A = this chain, B = another copy of it.
């Protein structure tokens, strides 16, 4: 069994996780993103973590990639009737989870433990851990002022230009012992094709985590979330451009410089290979689109093949 530790955000991260979870020879640990967490109606909601939980347990709404299958909106309708601001869709089953998490947080339980218990209840065999048990919240500055990430992402549908990005609480956030161990004990570390700024950024920004990743003995393989300068889902391309990064696989490589050893890019991006190599990251062109479970397992399998080649090289 190869111990794979995956750094992952929302939908793209969950797909990559699903790919590794489908492989028999992989013992998977996921370090998820908590920086898009937000309180709604007094309940603590963790969208990226929930997308991971719903995906890995097969409860996900496959058509939309997030949220639960067979959801209802009776609870949200009631809140709307009562005058609450309900631009954030929270389904009835969702509410059950948020109620559970919030009650346990109020009791003083660690977010990482709560997540582990939910994963266990859902029958998930991979480990899903949090980079930190402290509260970190991504905020984006637009022309209309500072917004929470969900305000930007859901309420404003990513329409405003992002002028600045900050992670509230990140300076004081301590890495969990679980994340530290998952990096130290990994045979292979993978950075999922998630938004490098708002999904991977706050994970890497957790005090000590970047160093733990650098000092880990495992090779670090990242997967580009961009294909031909476009993102599969979400605002990563526009965010990168807006914040002065290159909105392509080279821009991703720049953000992972001195961290990632390898970067999987799409076959359509082979022209960028030289620039990526120049940053000290080995590019590997393949089909990085994961439209279905077979595609996810295939991509995870390719990463495992790359890992096995690296092992052979080292042994030789």
Q: Which A residues contact B (CB, under 8 angstroms)?
A: 41-43, 70-72, 74-79, 81-84, 91-97, 99-100, 102-103, 106, 117-118, 121-122
Q: When the two chains form their complex, are residues B103 and A75 in contact, meaning their CB atoms are under 8 A apart?
A: no
A252 to B91, CA, bound (A): 46
**Residue among A41, A70, A106 with the highest chain B CB neighbour number at 10 A:** A41
A42 to B70, CA, bound (A): 25
Residues of B within 8 A of A91 (CB): 74
Instruction: Say which residue of B42, B81, B100, B103 sits within 8 Å of A78 (CB atoms).
Output: B100
Instruction: Say which residue of B75, B82, B83 sits within 8 Å of A95 (CB atoms).
Output: B75
Q: When the two chains form their complex, are residues B121 and A92 in contact, meaning their CB atoms are under 8 A apart?
A: no
Instruction: Say which residue of B70, B92, B100, B122 sits within 8 Å of A41 (CB atoms).
Output: B100
Q: When the two chains form their complex, are residues A74 and B99 in contact, meaning their CB atoms are under 8 A apart?
A: no
Q: When the two chains form their complex, are residues A82 and B121 in contact, meaning their CB atoms are under 8 A apart?
A: yes
Q: When the two chains form their complex, are residues B97 and A74 in contact, meaning their CB atoms are under 8 A apart?
A: no
**Minimum CB distance partner of A73 in chain B:** B92
A119 CB to closest chain B CB (Å) equals 11
A157 CB to closest chain B CB (Å) equals 24
Q: When the two chains form their complex, are residues A96 and B83 in contact, meaning their CB atoms are under 8 A apart?
A: no
**Minimum CB distance partner of A81 in chain B:** B121
Interface of chain A: mostly helix, strand, loop or mixed: helix
Can you list 30 contacts pairing A with B, beta carbon distance less than 8 Å? A41-B103, A42-B99, A42-B102, A42-B103, A43-B99, A70-B74, A71-B74, A72-B74, A74-B93, A74-B96, A75-B95, A75-B99, A76-B96, A77-B93, A78-B92, A78-B93, A78-B94, A78-B96, A78-B97, A78-B100, A79-B96, A79-B99, A81-B96, A81-B121, A82-B97, A82-B100, A82-B118, A82-B121, A83-B121, A92-B92
Instruction: Say which residue of B82, B83, B93 sits within 8 Å of A75 (CB atoms).
Output: B93
Residues of B within 8 A of A94 (CB): 78
Residues of B within 8 A of A79 (CB): 96, 99-100
A70 CB to closest chain B CB (Å) equals 8
If A71-B74, A78-B93, A81-B122 are given as contacts, then 10 extra A-B residue pairs at C-beta distance below 8 Å, sorted by A number, are A41-B103, A43-B99, A70-B74, A72-B92, A78-B96, A78-B97, A79-B99, A83-B117, A84-B100, A99-B99
Residues of B within 8 A of A70 (CB): 74
**Minimum CB distance partner of A39 in chain B:** B103
